[in-house]
Structure 1
């Protein structure tokens, strides 16, 4: 006979306060979103170094870091100059994240999981 499941909130409530607080801090760190500037600083690059790698100017890098709306190609080039690779995925409830490929300027989804149709659905 199996024991009934204990709700997570009850388990957490029994933990010492300092452990709960440390867990909350770590949880926020794991789900934090980063700005382009924070990513650049995390890889220890200056705007001038990124500009050189992206064949642009330091002023343009500064503008890119401050924008809140970028073309995907601009973002992809910027991330490459940081030494990374841009990945884009779609999150749809009930499905695993779906990675997108943006080759040739035309979005193409490869091997996208499909929802199963319920019996009798048209």
Structure 2
């Protein structure tokens, strides 16, 4: 894989996180999508999630080299924990459709993060 593969993964992951980050502006939509109450507390939680997505996207897209690897790793850790949270939520009785959206998005982000990290590492070894 080339350095471009790592950059493509970063752009795709940044776009996915940007969609999640957009929930900061429209937290009611995010609350309904995530299956949580669309009230003041639910909107607050959605905005926390959105802020994290925006920070992870900005850090990844603004970095290169070792710093980018660190942002990939931080994102992978967050996303893997989000997968676990989605599965635990489903097990605890969360609505199936909401749990599926949560977990699928987290799995996609985890996969893109791993692919980007591997592509970045391979490109450096090849140089």
With normalisation by structure 1, the TM-score equals 0.27
Which structure carries more strand by proportion? 1
With normalisation by structure 2, the TM-score equals 0.26
Which structure carries more helix by proportion? 2
Structure exhibiting the larger radius of gyration computed from Cα positions: 1
